[in-house]
Structure 1
Amino acid sequence: MNLDYIIPNNWSIIEEEFNPDQVKASESLFSIGNGAMGQRANFEERYSGPTFQGSYIAGVYYPDKTRVGWWKNGYPEYFAKVLNAPSWIGIDVFINEEALDLFKCKKVENFKRELNMKEGWLLRSFNATLQNNLEVEVVVKRFLSLDMDELGVISYSVKPLNASANITYQPYIDSGITNEDSNWDDKFWDTLSVSQKDTSAFIQAKTMKTEFYTCTFMESELFYNDKKLNITPDVDKASTHIAFAYSTKVNQGDVLSIHKFGGYTVDRNHDKYELVTAAKAVLDKAKHLGFSALLENQKQAWARIWDMADITIEGDVKAQQGIRFNIFHLNQTYLGTDARLNIGPKGFTGEKYGGSTYWDTEAYCIPFYMATKDQSVARNLLEYRYNHLQKAIENAEKLGFSNGAALYPMVTMNGEECHNEWEITFEEIHRNGAIAFAIYNYHRYTGDYSYIPEKGLEVLIAIARFWHQRATFSTDKNKYVILGVTGPNEYENNVNNNWYTNYIAKWCIKYTVENIERIESEFGIDYTRIMNKAKLSKSEIKDWMEVAEGIYFPYSEKHEVFLQQDGFLDKELITVSELDQSQRPINQKWSWDRILRSPYIKQADTLQGFYFFEDHFSTHELEQHFDFYEPFTVHESSLSPCVHSIQAAKLGRMNQAYTFYLRTSRLDLDDYNHEVHEGLHITSMAGTWMSIVEGFGGMRVKNDKLTFEPKIPEQWDAYSFKVNFRHQIIKVNVCKGHTHFELEGKHDLEIIVNGKTILISPNNLVTV
């Protein structure tokens, strides 16, 4: 299989050969979404070769009973799974009664697939010779509407090339689907009704257990050489399936097209008894507008997104394609229009990780959404966690914590923990710190403090209580220790005193106390309300601070670095460069036992702390820790290269920073980890954005001001990006030797560039 088959292009992802071995990978790479639903790039027509079928509805999931650990106290009862939803894209195509199936065709030529990221559509075209020797040209265009997010649209055209032919289109919807990833092969969907009205069809189904009610719908129109046909279809209706068959003779060289409108209405947005009515309204509007107008609206909607979110790179097509691919998929996954939703690590591109929410959102995604959209989008992501606070408290209670201590879940759909690996679920507790850090990061960037007295302080208090109870006083060390954890490096489990975990625990407590004091002095009504609700006393706060001030940090005098955990120097410290390349990736070649005893680091761990808390350490200290830990890092997490790219840029190591950038931006396009067939790495894509803006652009917020230390890789001629900072848009254009700043806003803004204060005025170019 060719892992580097995507054609470099500034605005499109392009594949120019039909290779059955690449179909699953391409189904991931060419996935489409609109924030409310998404789907892998499965073929509309039949395909009998290896394929991973997947259509997904945001927020609709199933609690799949966990396979391991369920008998242990505190263990999650289920693993939430995003569900492969009833399919609406299917269009069986028969040519002289033979089904079109690329896996069975005698010959497939001129195959091309294009995901146009600028305009938000997926195109596929090819010439095929069927077993009956008929040659046809096929062109298919599909998109999921941003304006009407319950609607998807397909235009499918067939032209007979070597003879006239009888062509039958059979569009269908089907609820008899299964998940690729299922623990017990449960039945996830219960089909309630299959109905039709004229040329519209509807399948109402609900999920088992969670009882999400959905309506999958479709309607089609036929065109002969662009002239609309009125053909009464034959109807094939079954318990979980309904298809319409449209047949007509097509002369050699003429084109028969079908426009199919389909999608989902769900009871998250409508009354469950009105889903068919809501679907009819969507179809009526779609038919009224028609394919061309809907496509034009799609182009305009994406133009508005790109106007703010685009990053341009001159002189490096692969780098340009990589960053746009990342920005495109982030926007396909989450647009910030529904505060009940969040960002799953695979988005709508696969089923791994269950489609659930991880700490990735707070650590990596919030900066992207804060800077490329209105700050209300980032606030929605914070409120998502506030709305789950009671569940986080219940999660902690199951583990023996009390007094309102909260442990936010490692993986969740509704606030309950639903991850089923003990060493992650119960030990990777640093995620609590990322939740708190996101509150701090939001205030630091937006200047909006209102969230903290209104909602955020309640979250911080519950997290501080957790850290206070989770720490143990060691009489041997005369310090507080945190035992039995997994840090961000998941290649070490059940270790003691992971430095990053201990550091963020201390920071969380002190940050919470700072905010309690500020709210007491500035927001008296909120202070009284929160203290009464939380039943928090001054003596309890004093106990917290004793832990924070007395927490233990393992340190090596010999290496002059904080140790990743107590036993790190006990390992056989062989660097990655000395590792036999045939052993990579180690997570696919080694036993877990061997990995856990090795010094190899999956992603930034101690360095994650240096990324979050850069201002707490000198550049010299960063350099020492980077030089010590990076040589042991295998970067087998999608979240690894971006942090290292930012820090390499901070240290002026631009070749290394560029290498890490290329790896994070093309992680999926070039399939570095040999797993793209399972879906894309959506949350790490936000880290790619940070690699440019925070890494090469050097953007930070310090002392309430936006600061930049721009650098440029030698491989690039120039690059530019925009950030929305406190309701004003700053455009940054970095060239070799100088940087331009432009301000779109109403007020002058002081920024710091390379340590010097610069005043930028609206619509006035400033060159530094």
Structure 2
Amino acid sequence: MTGWTWEHEGYDPADAPLRESLCTLGNGYFATRGALPECSADEVHYPGTYAAGIYDRLTSEVAGRHVENEDMVNLPNWLPLRFRLPGGTWLGPDAATVLDHGETLHLSSGLLERRTRYGLGAQRALLVRQERFVHMADPHLAGLRTEFTAEGFSGTLEVEAALDGDVTNSGVPRYRDLDGRHLTHVLTGTTAADTVWLRCRTRTSDIRIALAARLTSPAPVTNRHDRPRALQTTRLELAAGRPVTVDKVVALHTSRDPAISDPLHAAVDRVVRAGGFDELLPAHLTAWDQLWRRAELDVPGEAGRILRLHLFHVLQTLSPHTADLDVGVPARGLHGEAYRGHVFWDELFVLPYLNLHFPEVSRALLHHRHRRLERARTAAGDAGRSGAMYPWQSGSDGREEAQQLHLNPRSGRWLPDHSHLQHHVGSAIAYNVWQYCESSGDQEFLHTKGAEMLLQISRFWAGSATFDDRLGRYRITGVVGPDEYHDAYPDATEPGLDDNAYTNVTAAWVLARTLDVLRSLPEPRRRELDRRTGLDAAELEEWEEISRTLHVPFHHGVISQFEGYGELAELDWRGYRHRYGDIRRLDRLLEAEGDSVNRYQASKQADVLMLGYLFSPAELQALFRRLGMSLDERTWRRTVDHYLHRTSHGSTLSGLVHGWVLARARRADAWKFCQEALQADIADIQGGTTGEGIHLGAMAGTLDLVQRGLTGLETRGGALWLDPVPLPELSSYGFTLRYRGHWGVRLRLEHGLLEIAVPSSGRAPIEVHLPDRTVRLNPGETDRPALPE
């Protein structure tokens, strides 16, 4: 590895799924996994292609029940390009002798390079070199260049390229009992001697999909159609030691694209008009160069290399092209089929990073949520609630897509899934609205769509809260928190927990922020909103009261994860680690033993500590004061210690949150968890999950750990606030920000010295609050304030 490349040496089938995920190429519109073009989907390889926002819904019979699932659709495979000697078998890494193999992912240019030497016997070999891109300037194009070199022989090589419509969603083994055949009406055709096309549609969502491919070869190209494949063949005459090149350029369109009349016509027209591989490359490289400039990140050492890889995958999933689409944040990127491509709360970990580099993308992602506000209101009404109840999992239209059953692969049992009770996703959306508007200064969005979402989410929380005369406080009951292990009380017949601390504190925050926004609205807009929503003074008074009296349980001087948590049994952590080694999925281990994690003080991820992730120490203390409670530093440290020893880290987000919180609470222990967050995907620490798609929230969260966590960076009250906590292992780093119209604000921390540079422009000065002073920087100025010890 170097700072800008990620290299994989040798061929090992066991590593293929992980490598294919980490070598995915995309541009925010679509992405293709890093499978070798000569490999078909099987138990080892999975050449999936996914377009943002393309979903389809099917019903399957599972465990005697009809289960409906909406999947991000695996689109027709544009990669296939295979080769063989005349009369021989098709060469591939699992069927031929591999003398040498390596792949290099070039982060700076968005290119995937591979080289393979296939042994042909009698001291003969075929060297195959390829370069691939998914075009970052034109989001509908992709290209594949293949160079063949004969070693120790001369002769003919048969090459076959294809567009393959015979694909299914089968990339996740535990989903294979579900119907995964989403494509139908596959047709193929020819438009020119070197160009073929394929069109199809999804079975229930009826989205039309079209691809067109142009093959450029020094020998004649023959087209034929073996439905559902469009095939192109050529016969190359190879001379020993002389490379021969074949290029494949592909265009992809769907009926969801704007400004087209028909996806097939658009795809054919685009591929015909597109230049060759060499002509397309400069614009692609320029687009990547501009992305890296806007997201500049300078972190030394191995941590910097990993962060750059994380940033690369974030940009491939959510690029400026995303700003033109109606899509959400898929939890596993556009890199695989885990979680069926659904949108969860991961934007809570993604948008804070995007806000300060690509605010137009953040705005588009929040528009996606606003377009589904009416669906969320319908869901609340159907549940007998007011306001908007956003789903825990969503796909195309915002309805709840959380599975009804989930498979425990350890026990083989299908179990009820109660994750739809994670209503805290609404608070995550509200948090992102607030953070986006604070960092961008986008008052127009805050006063219109933002205010509408905040109002309806607040209305849901107020309607969910019930007053307890005994406590003299409001309570929220029957929910599941971010921890996910606990979904019911021991031996309870109904799911749900009462007064989850994370849920209640964030609900109080949402109510308070919404009241602030409503007070700040221009009077005409306020009247408009009141009339449209029926908002009145009595409802606002109720919100004020609830925001100050929501119950937050404590036990033994620490914040309880939920009411009754402190009464649960203690787990024999040492015994389970000795017995199983890796206990990240403790819930599955216990269920397979006939036990339940609901009986124990054990967390997948400590959702109480999420409060320290979302809010600075001062903000969190102010929140508890508003609730009429005291949260001093000593209590918070005890709380951190309590959950630190009772968490299995079954989520990739857990190490991130712990590293973030410990950087301020227990600095000596922070780096271990930061390292775990950095390594989560590249080391596949959850044992096989990364091959099904990267963990986008964890990747973006590590970037934000450097950007906001270690710097204490907040965008609040029209100013930047900084309170750095340099870790010994990461005390020097720098990055650029886009803040309220200032492009390229540079921050650099170097061994206790801070440098802030504001680029020249006609914008207003930036106010920066430090722990012991406030500085004001005009455009074109640089300041180097010394940090307090």
Looking at structure 2, the residues matched to 368 and 405 of structure 1 have their Cα atoms a distance apart, in angstroms, of 26
Letter in 2 for 1:756: R
* 1:226 aligned partner: none
How many equivalent pairs are there?
Answer: 737
Structure 2 counterparts to residues 728-739 of structure 1, below 5 A: 728=742, 729-739=744-754
The Cα offsets for residues 195-226 of structure 1, whole Å up to 9 and x where unpaired, read as 1022111111000110001101111101xxxx
* 1:571 aligned partner: 568
* 1:5 aligned partner: none
* 1:389 aligned partner: 373
Give the 3-state SS of the residue equivalent to 2:421 in structure 1: coil
* 1:679 aligned partner: 693
Q: 2:25 aligns with which of 32, 37, 40?
A: 32
* 2:424 aligned partner: 430
| Contact kept? 2:260, 2:266, Cα under 8 Å | no
Gap change, CA 1:270 and 1:238, over 3 Å in 2? farther
Looking at structure 2, the residues matched to 750 and 686 of structure 1 have their Cα atoms a distance apart, in angstroms, of 26
Letter in 2 for 1:608: M
Structure 2 counterparts to residues 438-449 of structure 1, below 5 A: 438-449=432-443
Give the 3-state SS of the residue equivalent to 2:356 in structure 1: helix
* 1:741 aligned partner: 756
* 1:419 aligned partner: 402
The alpha carbon displacement at 1:184 in A equals 3.2
| Contact kept? 1:372, 1:724, Cα under 8 Å | yes
Structure 2 counterparts to residues 458-607 of structure 1, below 5 A: 458-493=452-487, 494-519=496-521, 523-556=522-555, 558=556, 560-574=557-571, 579-581=576-578, 582-587=580-585, 590-592=589-591, 593-607=595-609
The Cα offsets for residues 113-167 of structure 1, whole Å up to 9 and x where unpaired, read as 1111111110110211136874111101101001111110000111110111211
| Residue 739 (structure 2) pairs with residue 725 (structure 1) | yes
Letter in 2 for 1:613: F
Gap change, CA 1:185 and 1:512, over 3 Å in 2? same
Gap change, CA 1:67 and 1:690, over 3 Å in 2? farther
Q: Which stretch of the first structure deviates more once superposed, 37-46 or 336-345?
A: 336-345
Gap change, CA 1:576 and 1:761, over 3 Å in 2? farther
Looking at structure 2, the residues matched to 738 and 427 of structure 1 have their Cα atoms a distance apart, in angstroms, of 46
Letter in 1 for 2:669: Q
| Contact kept? 2:60, 2:179, Cα under 8 Å | no
* 1:261 aligned partner: 249
* 1:188 aligned partner: 182
* 2:782 aligned partner: 765
Unaligned segments of structure 2, at least 5 residues: 405-415, 488-495, 622-631
Matched-pair identity in %:
22
The Cα offsets for residues 24-50 of structure 1, whole Å up to 9 and x where unpaired, read as 111111111111110111111145762
Q: Which stretch of the first structure deviates more once superposed, 109-118 or 463-472?
A: 463-472
* 1:639 aligned partner: 653
| Contact kept? 1:577, 1:631, Cα under 8 Å | no
The Cα offsets for residues 549-595 of structure 1, whole Å up to 9 and x where unpaired, read as 43222112x3x222111121122335857752534234176134432
| Contact kept? 2:32, 2:48, Cα under 8 Å | yes
Looking at structure 1, the residues matched to 225 and 768 of structure 2 have their Cα atoms a distance apart, in angstroms, of 65
The alpha carbon displacement at 1:400 in A equals 2.3
Q: 1:246 aligns with which of 234, 242, 254?
A: 234
| Contact kept? 2:501, 2:559, Cα under 8 Å | yes
Gap change, CA 1:272 and 1:554, over 3 Å in 2? same
Letter in 1 for 2:71: K
| Residue 708 (structure 2) pairs with residue 694 (structure 1) | yes
Letter in 2 for 1:306: W
The alpha carbon displacement at 1:82 in A equals 0.6
| Residue 92 (structure 2) pairs with residue 78 (structure 1) | no
| Contact kept? 1:727, 1:745, Cα under 8 Å | no
| Residue 350 (structure 2) pairs with residue 365 (structure 1) | yes
Letter in 2 for 1:420: Q
Q: 1:220 aligns with which of 193, 197, 215?
A: 215
Looking at structure 2, the residues matched to 543 and 752 of structure 1 have their Cα atoms a distance apart, in angstroms, of 35
| TM-score, normalization by structure 1 | 0.91
Give the 3-state SS of the residue equivalent to 1:163 in structure 2: coil
Q: 1:42 aligns with which of 30, 35, 40?
A: 35
| Contact kept? 2:47, 2:79, Cα under 8 Å | no
* 1:18 aligned partner: 11
Letter in 1 for 2:303: A
The alpha carbon displacement at 1:187 in A equals 2.9
The alpha carbon displacement at 1:249 in A equals 2.1
| Contact kept? 1:49, 1:103, Cα under 8 Å | no
Give the 3-state SS of the residue equivalent to 1:429 in structure 2: coil
Q: 2:204 aligns with which of 197, 200, 209?
A: 209
The alpha carbon displacement at 1:480 in A equals 2.2
| Contact kept? 1:412, 1:419, Cα under 8 Å | no
Unaligned segments of structure 1, at least 5 residues: 1-7, 223-228
Gap change, CA 1:103 and 1:131, over 3 Å in 2? farther
Q: 1:616 aligns with which of 613, 620, 627?
A: 620
| Contact kept? 1:24, 1:51, Cα under 8 Å | yes
Gap change, CA 1:754 and 1:685, over 3 Å in 2? same
| Contact kept? 2:62, 2:178, Cα under 8 Å | no
Gap change, CA 1:709 and 1:446, over 3 Å in 2? same
| Contact kept? 2:318, 2:361, Cα under 8 Å | no
Looking at structure 2, the residues matched to 409 and 565 of structure 1 have their Cα atoms a distance apart, in angstroms, of 19
Give the 3-state SS of the residue equivalent to 1:437 in structure 2: helix
* 1:410 aligned partner: 393
* 1:225 aligned partner: none
| Contact kept? 1:192, 1:206, Cα under 8 Å | yes
The Cα offsets for residues 467-515 of structure 1, whole Å up to 9 and x where unpaired, read as 1222233344343222221111011112211111111222222322332
* 2:288 aligned partner: 302
Looking at structure 2, the residues matched to 445 and 536 of structure 1 have their Cα atoms a distance apart, in angstroms, of 28
| Contact kept? 2:376, 2:389, Cα under 8 Å | yes
Looking at structure 2, the residues matched to 104 and 165 of structure 1 have their Cα atoms a distance apart, in angstroms, of 24
Looking at structure 2, the residues matched to 244 and 426 of structure 1 have their Cα atoms a distance apart, in angstroms, of 47
The alpha carbon displacement at 1:190 in A equals 1.1
The Cα offsets for residues 163-200 of structure 1, whole Å up to 9 and x where unpaired, read as 11211111110111111145532531113421102211
The Cα offsets for residues 218-238 of structure 1, whole Å up to 9 and x where unpaired, read as 11101xxxxxx2x33333312
Taking only aligned residues, the RMSD between alpha carbons, in angstroms, comes to 2.4
Looking at structure 2, the residues matched to 424 and 301 of structure 1 have their Cα atoms a distance apart, in angstroms, of 43
Gap change, CA 1:66 and 1:478, over 3 Å in 2? farther
| Contact kept? 1:105, 1:130, Cα under 8 Å | no
Looking at structure 1, the residues matched to 572 and 702 of structure 2 have their Cα atoms a distance apart, in angstroms, of 25
Letter in 2 for 1:201: V
Letter in 2 for 1:151: L
| Contact kept? 1:206, 1:214, Cα under 8 Å | yes
Gap change, CA 1:49 and 1:138, over 3 Å in 2? farther
| Contact kept? 1:143, 1:152, Cα under 8 Å | yes
The Cα offsets for residues 631-676 of structure 1, whole Å up to 9 and x where unpaired, read as 212222122222222222223x444222222221221111111122
Q: Which stretch of the first structure deviates more once superposed, 752-761 or 459-468?
A: 752-761
